[in-house]
């Protein structure tokens, strides 16, 4: 369970998150929608521990631990995963090598045995197939020369292998065609269990047709201004965010 309480965060002098409160019980999927610049990506970065964000108030407790005090890699080990809005390129670093290094780092921290190359490749190939990606995907350098859609799918590949307890998807659907969107949704739905929860940040209702959320929140101007069930997303699709920011 993730409990965010009255979270305030700033970048330099600008306060971006102005008291976010949000609880995601295990097994639930919550969506966050909201206008550009509302602070959605900022929330995802603060939760995963990126430098440059100062938390001035509040806390974020995941499975009893205050994750805001942890290093990014410790949060990953605790089960947190962020699918980046803009995945980062790592020139010269092979995708398979990166995935295996990450997977083994997390396995080590959980006290599990590391996977050898053969066992890893078996898992990785299966995941690649599931996501309808080309075989050579694993041989290419991490995100280098990937199309926008390929980058997003690569995030999903990482998620499939790292099997997080809590996934934050930051606009993973942006730039995807409908087939790719379904594949991403299947990837998330495949992880659904009592022990898995997700925070899905999106602009579009259409993703939520495929990943049906338990709760939809609207983030505007650094605060959650409305929460509701899946119907809220449909309502927003029709009326937009006008009027919500002042709320």
Partner 1 sequence: MSSTTDAVIQDLAAQKYKYGFTTEIEMEEFPKGLSPDIVRMISAKKGEPAWLLEWRLKAYEAWLKMEEPTWARIHHAPIAYQDLYYYAAPAKAAPKSLDEVDPELLRTYEKLGIPLNERAALAGVAVDAVFDSVSVATTFRDTLAKAGVIFCPISEAVREHPELVRKYLGSVVPAGDNYFAALNSAVFSDGSFVFIPKGVKCPMELSTYFRINARNTGQFERTLIIAEDGASVSYLEGCTAPMRDENQLHAAVVELVAMDDAKIKYSTVQNWYPGDADGKGGIYNFVTKRGACRGRNSKISWTQVETGSAITWKYPSCILQGEGSVGEFYSVAVTNGHQQADTGTKMIHIGKNTSSTIISKGISAGKSNNTYRGQVKILPGASGARNFTQCDSLLIGDQCGAHTVPYIENRNASAKVEHEATTSKIAEDQLFYCRSRGLSEEDAVGLIVNGFCKDVLKELPMEFAVEAQKLLAVSLEGSVG
| List of residues contacting ligand ADP (CB under 6 A) | 11, 14, 16, 34, 36-42
Residue 102 binds which of ligand ADP, partner 1, Mg ion, none (CB < 5-8 A, kind-dependent): partner 1
- With a CB cutoff of 8 Å and minimum separation 6, the contacts of 21 are 4, 5, 6, 7, 58, 224
Is residue 23 part of the contact set for partner 1 (CB under 8 A)?
no
Could you please report the per-residue DSSP string of 161-210? HH--SEEEEESTTTT--HHHHHHHHHHHHHH-STT-EEEEE-S-HHHHHH
Indicate the Cα dihedral angle 79, 104, 188, 195, nearest 10°: -40
Among 11, 102, 115, 133, binds partner 1 (CB under 8 A): 102
Least distance (Å) between residue 221 CB and Mg ion: 14
Q: Are strands 223-228 and 215-220 parallel, antiparallel or unpaired?
A: antiparallel
Phi, psi (degrees; rounded to nearest 5) at 5: -125, 115
Taking CB under 5 A as the binding criterion, the range among 27-35, 48-56, 84-92, 207-215 that sits at the site for Mg ion is 84-92
Residues 39-78 that bind Mg ion (CB under 5 A): 40-41
Residue 14 binds which of partner 1, Mg ion, ligand ADP, none (CB < 5-8 A, kind-dependent): ligand ADP
Among 13, 36, 88, 178, binds partner 1 (CB under 8 A): 88
Q: Are strands 29-33 and 215-220 parallel, antiparallel or unpaired?
A: parallel
Q: Rounded to the nearest 10 degrees, what angle do helices 148-162 and 117-130 cross at?
A: 130
- Most distant pair of Cα atoms in the chain: their distance: 56
Least distance (Å) between residue 141 CB and partner 1: 7
Residues 162-191 that bind partner 1 (CB under 8 A): 162
Provide the binding-site residues for partner 1, judged by CB under 8 A. 48-52, 71-73, 75-77, 81-82, 84, 87-93, 97-98, 101-103, 105-106, 109, 141, 158, 162
């Amino acid at each position: 369970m993730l409990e965010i309480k009255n979270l305030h965060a700033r970048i330099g002098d600008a306060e971006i998150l102005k008291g976010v409160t949000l609880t995601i019980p295990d097994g639930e999927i919550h969506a966050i929608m909201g206008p550009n610049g509302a602070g959605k990506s900022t929330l995802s970065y603060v939760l995963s521990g990126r430098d440059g964000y100062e938390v001035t108030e509040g806390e974020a407790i995941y499975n009893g631990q205050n994750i805001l005090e942890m290093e990014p890699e410790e949060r990953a080990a605790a089960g947190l995963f962020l699918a980046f809005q803009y995945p980062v390129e790592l020139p010269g670093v092979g995708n398979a090598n990166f995935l295996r290094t990450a997977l083994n780092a997390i396995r080590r921290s959980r006290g599990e045995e590391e996977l050898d190359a053969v066992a890893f490749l078996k898992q990785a190939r299966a995941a690649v197939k599931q996501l309808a990606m080309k075989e050579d995907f694993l041989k290419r350098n991490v995100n280098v020369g990937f199309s926008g859609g390929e980058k997003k799918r690569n995030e999903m590949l990482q998620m499939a292998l790292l099997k997080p307890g809590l996934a934050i998807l930051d606009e993973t659907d942006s730039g995807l065609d409908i087939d790719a969107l379904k594949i991403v949704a299947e990837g998330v739905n495949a992880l659904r269990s009592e022990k898995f929860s997700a925070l899905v940040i999106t602009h579009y209702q259409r993703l939520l047709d495929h990943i049906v959320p338990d709760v939809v929140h609207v983030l505007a101007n650094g605060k959650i201004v409305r929460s509701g069930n899946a119907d809220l997303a449909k309502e927003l699709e029709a009326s937009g965010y006008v009027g919500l920011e002042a709320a």
